[in-house]
Chains A and B, each alone.
Chain A
Amino acid sequence: EAGVTQFPSHSVIEKGQTVTLRCDPISGHDNLYWYRRVMGKEIKFLLHFVKESKQDESGMPNNRFLAERTGGTYSTLKVQPAELEDSGVYFCASSQVQRNSPLHFGNGTRLTVT
């Protein structure tokens, strides 16, 4: 079974530019999550989709971040305009909609804003 796929693996952009990250979950996983790790700090929750619906976006830092999951398959996370403090590793994870279903993470996208 293919795992969670994220791309790009790395992105370097200038402050003020726009970046879009993509996540393809494991097939059949209706839950999709975004997490972020900034500069060696804790991995923090950003938001959670069930199929195409946003269930919890309490971790989104501000309105420069927009996540979508059209059709309930892959998801995108857009940062517009990017700021220096947005640099970090963005992880996507997916799971089945079951209490005992663990999250399976992708390899992450390392975003550097200069």
Chain B
Amino acid sequence: AQSVTQPDIHITVSEGASLELRCNYSYGATPYLFWYVQSPGQGLQLLLKYFSGDTLVQGIKGFEAEFKRSQSSFNLRKPSVHWSDAAEYFCAVGVWKAAGNKLTFGGGTRVLVKP
């Protein structure tokens, strides 16, 4: 069975600084990978996705993630954090099953942004 680990429960970063969130997955085949963000009072918003092809994926809000098969990782990065990036971030691996993508989520990383 697939699993996802987000090692950092909380991260505090200064506004304008760079951000990297770690995600490691376990899955026997080539995974479908996703990052979602949940801002306070909001639902889960898709930041970016990887299905195949270029291992560096660009997403919304200036985020990018890199798929590294050898490390079973899909880390999320942003060069310069804005105060509005304070939120909880979830990495997920998807398995195509029964005509749908069944997601397994990591535990989430809560990002605090200092002024």
Residues of A within 8 A of B (CB): 4, 6, 31, 33, 35, 41-45, 48, 50, 55-56, 91, 93, 95, 97, 99-108
Contacts and interface: CB of A to CB of B under 8 A. Distances in A.
A102 B105 contact: no
Contacts of A56: 97-98, 100, 102
Contacts, number: 72
A43 B90 contact: yes
Interface in B23-64: 32, 34, 36, 42-46, 49, 51
A45 B101 contact: no
30 contacts: A4-B43, A31-B99, A31-B100, A31-B101, A41-B107, A42-B105, A42-B106, A42-B107, A43-B105, A45-B104, A48-B100, A48-B102, A50-B99, A55-B99, A56-B98, A56-B100, A56-B102, A91-B43, A97-B99, A99-B96, A101-B101, A102-B34, A102-B101, A103-B46, A104-B46, A105-B43, A105-B45, A105-B46, A107-B42, A108-B44
Contacts of B43: 4, 6, 91, 105-108
Contacts of A103: 34, 46, 94, 101, 103
Given A43-B108, A48-B100, A55-B97, 15 more contacts: A33-B100, A33-B102, A42-B108, A44-B105, A50-B98, A50-B100, A93-B44, A95-B101, A99-B32, A102-B34, A102-B101, A103-B34, A105-B43, A105-B45, A106-B43
A23 B44 CA distance: 15
Q: Closest 9 CB pairs between A and B? A: A107-B43, A55-B98, A105-B44, A43-B105, A31-B100, A100-B51, A102-B49, A105-B43, A48-B100
